[in-house]
Amino acid sequence: AQTVTQSQPEMSVQEAETVTLSCTYDTSESDYYLFWYKQPPSRQMILVIRQEAYKQQNATENRFSVNFQKAAKSFSLKISDSQLGDAAMYFCAYRPIIQGAQKLVFGQGTRLTINP
Amino acid sequence: DTGVSQNPRHKITKRGQNVTFRCDPISEHNRLYWYRQTLGQGPEFLTYFQNEAQLEKSRLLSDRFSAERPKGSFSTLEIQRTEQGDSAMYLCASSLVVHEGGYTFGSGTRLTVV
């Protein structure tokens, strides 16, 4: 079974600093997507960044970037220049690229606190 | 387009009662998903539709749960004979068939069974 593990239940960082959230996953598939979602206190899940497993280049979206290590099955999220609005639950998620596979498998989440 | 809309936002019900939640996806999205999220956990997949067809159901979706998407637009999730263990946030999301990757989520319906 495919699983996603986030080993850091909580993280905190000073405003303007950089923080890295960890995620590992287990799968026997070779092609898949990986995602980081942000869930602010208002509860709506927002897609932060996406990585296709067949791409070696790490995805980047403004202050958000990932370190994708396919062999190690690791997918960490780096947030640079942290802002107060980055405070939220962050979920790592996985989806295989195979016919009929539509569900996302989520990790347990990491609560990120930004200290002013 | 106002995104994915879920109603109600909150529902408190007594154990044993039936409840129904509604999800209105983004209008051009033909895939619709239901997830359940308990406190401190990540969302867990329940079921998904492509247009009006329900294509996959999780084992989490017991026979007390039923979901419909009658005209391929909005969807309803009904829970019969609610139990305290059903208390959770129920999330709806939608996507396009050919969209590579993430979904658009609604704000969820928080169910409390007392």
pLDDT 10s digits, A11-70:
999 999 999 999 999 999 888 999 999 999 877 899 999 999 988 899 999 999 999 999
Inform me whether the C-beta atom of residue B107 falls under 8 Å from chain A C-beta atoms: yes
C-beta separation of A77 from A61 below 8 A = no
Contacts of A108 in chain B (CB under 8 A): 40-42
**Chain A within 8 Å of B91 (Cβ-Cβ)?**
yes
Nearest chain A CA: its distance from B81 CA (Å): 26
Q: In this complex, do A43 and B102 lie within 8 Å of one another by their Cβ atoms? A: no
Contact A108 B40 (CB under 8 A): yes
Which of A3, A44, A46, A66 would best serve as a mutation to test chain B binding (most B beta carbons within 10 A)? A44
Distance CA A89, CA A96 (A): 23
Do residues B46 and B54 make contact, with C-beta atoms less than 8 angstroms apart? no
Query: In this predicted model, what pLDDT tens digit does every residue of B31-89 receive, in sequence order?
Result: 999 999 998 899 999 999 999 999 989 988 889 999 999 988 999 999 999 999 999 99
